[in-house]
Structure formats: structure tokens, C-alpha cells
Chain A
Amino acid sequence: MTCHDRILLDDWHVVADLEHLRQHSRQSAELFEQQLDINLRADGSAEVRHKETGRVLPSQIKYGFVWVCVGTPSRDIIEIPEAGEADRYVVSGGSFPVRASGLRVVENFLDMGHFPFVHTGWLGEEPHTEVAPYQVELTPDDEIIATECYFYQPVASPTAEGGIEVEYKYRVYRPYIVSLYKTNPAYPDRKDYIVLFIQPVGPEDCVVHNMLCYLKEGMNEPDIRWFMQLIFAQDKPILENQLPKRLPLDPRAETPIRADKVAILYRRWLRDHCVSYGAIPAA
């Protein structure tokens, strides 16, 4: 299945973590089932070629990742002010292939209901299973924002000591880019920030890249990476065993509950933008 979604083809997608590329100086990647060759030039920039045709694709390095556009870029890479704040660590937690649609990964990331069952003892635990009502909106910039998301978490962060009630804010920027802002116990007015840049390898395969922007106070880089991998590796087998592997966009395909409010809007938003790659389109 080839990707025909203009909104995806004309957008920027991460295809490599710069740190990984520096270790090897060249690597291959796959985007929309097309093979790419990525080379690190001597001046530190990257060159991305379409393997079959040899065509050089538009690429940029930003946030420590190589971004590429296989079509004609119609907009810029998203702006993330948190990545430029000096009092934050900005680290990649490592890129992980997942045998599932990247849209499924976005939806799982937006879901609080699974915390006590998949991240038991870390991001949730029984009997604190209820997802309290939260707010969801579509912004004038065409992003999805979910706010007032509260959840009790036994170990909410790499350096947490004891359970706390955590506040989340979720944000979907693009079909394959999603982030969250999360309570930092040391700062009542600021939040830690995590974003997933998902590389659609195929309709049922993706690579999940991520950038973690944690406030430095009381934190250290190895623990940030450890925690991200601990949590993500708990999600991975669940994602890979979810069926169907593509995200169904028909409202009747799967039965949502109140806690899925943000996922319902996400699916509708994907329908409205005619995103079908990685999805089962509505009938």
C-alpha cells in the first residue's frame, strides 16, 4: 500500500536520531515503505536519498533528529520552545521500532485508562483506575489539546519518591506527532515535556522517536532515558498485539468510553484531514 495522503507526504518526518547516525555515519531508513539512505556530511548536515531513484530529498536537522519530506514541504517542522530552555535536559530516549500503525501509538500515548494495568506500580495502580472527566478542544491552529487530566501515579517520574496526583496536558500537533506536559513535583508552575515523533515505516509498522525535556533540578540524564525506556517497553507488546493493527476511523468500529474523549476527537480529526495511511478509513 502506497501513501497517497498529501497531508503526510508534504510534511516533515523524523527518520534518524542524530546521535545514532553519528555512531555509524550512515544508515538506512524506511518511510511510507520507501527505502532511504541517510549520510552524515563532513559539515555535520545530513543527506537523505531515495534509494530506488537516487533523488535527494529535502531534509533538515532539528532537535537532534534528521527530518525528511518525501513530497513538497507545505509547512515547517513544529516549534517546541521547551527544547530551547536552558534549565531543561533535552535528550532522546532512543528510537524503537513497533509492529503497529503509528496512529495506534499516538492513541495509546493519549490514553490514561491503561496506566494501572500496563504500567502497574509506576504510572498507575489498582484501585486508582478511574479516568476523571477532562477537557478536549481543537485549537485555532488545528491542534488537539486535552487539559485537566488528573491521575494518581505511584512513581510518576524518574526520581519520584512516593505516589502523587499528576496533571497532564496532551497535545496532538500532526497525525504522527504527539506530546504531553506533565507535573514536575519541584515546580508547581512548570511541567516536564515529552514528545513522540513517529516515523510511519509502513501502514502497520513504525519507529517511535522521542524527545524528553525534563527540568534539570533534581534530575539526571541517565535516569530520564531509563524511565522512558522502562515505560515504553511496557507499552510495546500491548501495541503489537492490538488488532486490527491499523487505527479504525469509522466511529462504529470500536466502542469508546468517556475516558476516550481525546481519542474520539483524534480519529475524527484524522478523518477530516483525509489521513488514511496507518488507518482503516471510515466506510
Chain B
Amino acid sequence: MIRLYDYELSGNCYKLRLLMSFLGVEYESELVDFYPGNRHKSEAFRKINPLGQLPVIDDDGLVLRDAQAILVYLASKYDGSGKWYPRDNPDLLGQVSQWLAFADAITATASAARLHDALFYTHIDVGACRAGAHRLFRILDEHLFFAEEAGQDWICPGDHPTIADIACFPYIILSEEGGISRMDYPAIRRWCDRFKRIPGFTVMSGVFPAGPAADEDSKLAS
């Protein structure tokens, strides 16, 4: 069985829990005491990941680090439909990769601000992180607005979400814990609600499920 080196409050670990839940893939969590124990920086854990970061998976001896890389691996291996990571569609694949990199930038800003505010990472320049996150959120909000105008629900074109949506979701939905309001990003907020209604969606602490969907008749702009 897949072993996930896991920490409950990590948005990057949550990405993998989400994908495995969407795909119905079984796994077991190996809890790593990230805070306050700092065990991800321990000598023992650095033998598993020399970078001292979560998450890591061990799938039958294949050890992988980096949330985005693991999303690519899991979707390629376990998604029979090929929709979460469309390997045979170069145009789409390029776009997915572009937004995976964007997700990493969200981690470097929105997640860092959250670490500062919530877990005493006091050395972080929280003002710069928040400003950086707002720049990214503005870009994504605009992108999602035009996607909606074109009848698209997800970050990349098509009728199905991709791992790009999964990669971007956690540190956006947790942004308020880092003092980053989503008030000014209505398209992002609508996308978050759609994301929460993907079958198999699961929460983590700090994330709440969507309310019941509005019925078709009462939808705006229908």
C-alpha cells in the first residue's frame, strides 16, 4: 500500500490526500510531527527526504518527494480515465504544468504567510508574502473569470478538473490563516465552491465542506 508521510495541517500533504480520495486509492499515513516537533528536519527523516520537507510517498519502494511531482505520478499511475493528468494531450499538458508551477508560487507566498501567522515562523517577511499572494490571486481570479465566460469550470480547459486544480486549491482555501482575504477574488471563491463539490472531496482542518449546491433554476446568469 502507498505510504504517505503526512502532517494534518500541511496543505501540500492535503493535495495528495485529495487526489487519492478522488481516485479511490488506498494509502496509509505515517504521521510526521512537523510542529512543534520539527521532526521533518530530523536526521532520520532526512534519510527519506534530504530536503527535510513534506510530503513524501513510498509506493512499493518508489520514494518520491514534492507535492506536484507526486500528483503527476499518482494521476499517471492510478487514474485510468487519464483526465486528472491528460498525458496524451500536449496542449493541455503544457497548461497543467504551467499551473503546477503557479501552485508552487502560491506555496512560497500564501503558505509562508500562514506559517508565519499560525506556526511561529517569525523569520518570514509576512508583508512580502501577503503581497506576493495577492498578485498571484489577482492573476488566477482573472484567468478563472474568463474561463467561466468561456463556459469552463476549471483552471485548464475541458470538462474535468486536473491536478492543477488540486495543486492550487489548499493554500488558497487556507489563505485567511495567513491574513490573506479572498474577498476581492469572486471567481476564485466560485471555483473553490465548485472544487468542494467534486465527488470524493475531503476536508482538512481549517477547510469546511460546501453548502448544498443551488438548484439549476436559481443559478445566476443561467
From B31-39, B59-67, B98-106, the one touching the partner chain is: B31-39
Q: State the Cβ distance, B196 to closest chain A Cβ, in Å.
A: 14
A234 touches B206 (CB 8 A): yes
A237 touches B36 (CB 8 A): no
The residue on B at minimum CB distance from A29 is B120
Question: Which residues from chain A contact B205 at a C-beta distance below 8 Å?
Answer: 229-234, 236
Q: Which of B15-67 contact A (CB under 8 A)?
A: 31, 33, 35-38
Instruction: Find B120's partner among A95, A232, A240 (CB 8 Å cutoff).
Output: A95
Point out which of A20, A28, A232, A233 has the most chain B C-beta atoms below 10 A from its C-beta. A233
Instruction: Find B31's partner among A20, A95, A226, A231 (CB 8 Å cutoff).
Output: A226
A237 touches B177 (CB 8 A): yes
B36 touches A233 (CB 8 A): no
Q: Which of A225-259 contact B (CB under 8 A)?
A: 225-226, 229-234, 236-237, 240
Question: Which residues from chain A contact B36 at a C-beta distance below 8 Å?
Answer: 17, 19-20, 92, 94-95
A94 touches B177 (CB 8 A): no
A237 touches B38 (CB 8 A): no
Please tell me if A71 contacts chain B, counting CB pairs below 8 Å: no
| A123 CA / B187 CA spacing, docked (Å) | 34
Please tell me if A23 contacts chain B, counting CB pairs below 8 Å: yes
B206 touches A237 (CB 8 A): yes
**Given A23-B38, A97-B120, A234-B206, are A226 and B177 neighbors across the interface (CB < 8 Å)?**
no
Point out which of A92, A223, A234 has the most chain B C-beta atoms below 10 A from its C-beta. A234
| A19 CA / B8 CA spacing, docked (Å) | 20
Question: Which residues from chain B contact A92 at a C-beta distance below 8 Å?
Answer: 36
Question: Which residues from chain A contact B176 at a C-beta distance below 8 Å?
Answer: 237, 240
Question: Which residues from chain B contact A233 at a C-beta distance below 8 Å?
Answer: 8-9, 205-206
Please tell me if A222 contacts chain B, counting CB pairs below 8 Å: yes
Please tell me if B118 contacts chain A, counting CB pairs below 8 Å: yes
Q: Which of A18-58 contact B (CB under 8 A)?
A: 19-20, 23, 28
Question: Which residues from chain A contact B148 at a C-beta distance below 8 Å?
Answer: none
Instruction: Count B interface residues, CB 8 Å.
Output: 18
| A175 CA / B57 CA spacing, docked (Å) | 45
Question: Which residues from chain B contact A97 at a C-beta distance below 8 Å?
Answer: 117-118, 120
B120 touches A20 (CB 8 A): yes
Q: State the Cβ distance, A98 to closest chain B Cβ, in Å.
A: 9
Q: State the Cβ distance, A240 to closest chain B Cβ, in Å.
A: 8
| A230 CA / B17 CA spacing, docked (Å) | 15
**Given A97-B118, A97-B120, are A230 and B8 neighbors across the interface (CB < 8 Å)?**
yes
Q: State the Cβ distance, B202 to closest chain A Cβ, in Å.
A: 10
A236 touches B33 (CB 8 A): no
Q: State the Cβ distance, B115 to closest chain A Cβ, in Å.
A: 11
Q: State the Cβ distance, B78 to closest chain A Cβ, in Å.
A: 25
Q: State the Cβ distance, B174 to closest chain A Cβ, in Å.
A: 9
Question: What string of 1s and 0s marks CB contacts (under 8 Å) between A209-235 and chain B?
Answer: 000000000000011011001111110
Given A95-B120, A97-B120, A229-B8, 15 extra CB contacts under 8 A: A19-B36, A97-B117, A222-B33, A225-B33, A225-B37, A226-B8, A229-B9, A229-B205, A230-B205, A232-B205, A233-B9, A234-B206, A236-B118, A236-B177, A236-B206
Which residues of A are interface residues toward B (Cβ below 8 A)?
17, 19-20, 23, 28, 92, 94-97, 222-223, 225-226, 229-234, 236-237, 240
Q: List 5 A-B contacts (CB under 8 A).
A: A17-B36, A223-B31, A225-B37, A236-B118, A237-B208
Across the A-B interface, give the 5 residue pairs with the lowest CB-CB distance, nearest first.
Answer: A233-B205, A94-B36, A234-B205, A230-B8, A233-B206
